[in-house]
Structure 1
Amino acid sequence: MTFPKPGPPPGGFRPGPPPSPQPAPAAVSLPPAVDEATGRIVEQTGHPAVDEVLRSLANAARLAPAEQIAEYEAAHQVLQETLASIDR
């Protein structure tokens, strides 16, 4: 009994055709929200937890630098939990 030799088939490597370009998906455009206190535009994602994080980050800009760290860490935690929940 003979077994096939491991490795590429005889004749060498033959690449397939180049991939065809895919059109970019259409971006969903939501109207921007404006922070009433600062007049700055706050992006909306349509996901309540993420939208709240964006608002908290906009508000953190008005805090003292030492207080901003806690806000950024809390935002990071919420975003990690949100991403983890997507995989479930």
Structure 2
Amino acid sequence: MSGPPRPGPPPPGPRPGPTPQRWSGDEAEEAGHPAVDAAVQSMVNAATLAPADQIAQYEAAYQTLRETLATIDQA
């Protein structure tokens, strides 16, 4: 018995996803710090990337946030 053809694996490359949106800060208070705002925006934009590329974006944002917090703690 042969049924309908089964779909194969998805093609390599970025997966289609939602269009990146500019983080407005409406969901929470704006940080008011350019490095923090940029890190948050990079995480929002990462949602449209392939999972392997998302990891690099999240790690970079994490490092930026750690460095920013360290400078705040020193002040």
The structure having more radius of gyration, on CA atoms, is 1
Shift of 1:38: 3.9
Query: Which one has more relative contact order, counting CA pairs under 8 Å at least 6 apart?
Result: 2
Give the alignment of 1:71-82 within 5 angstroms: 71-82=57-68
Q: Which amino acid aligns with 1:73?
A: E
Secondary structure of the structure 2 residue equivalent to 1:46: coil
**Structure 2, unaligned runs of 5 or more:** 1-18
The alignment's TM-score, normalised by the length of structure 1, stands at 0.53
Give the superposed CA RMSD.
Answer: 1.7
Equivalent pairs, count: 52
The alignment's TM-score, normalised by the length of structure 2, stands at 0.61
| Percentage of identical aligned residues | 58
**Structure 1, unaligned runs of 5 or more:** 1-36
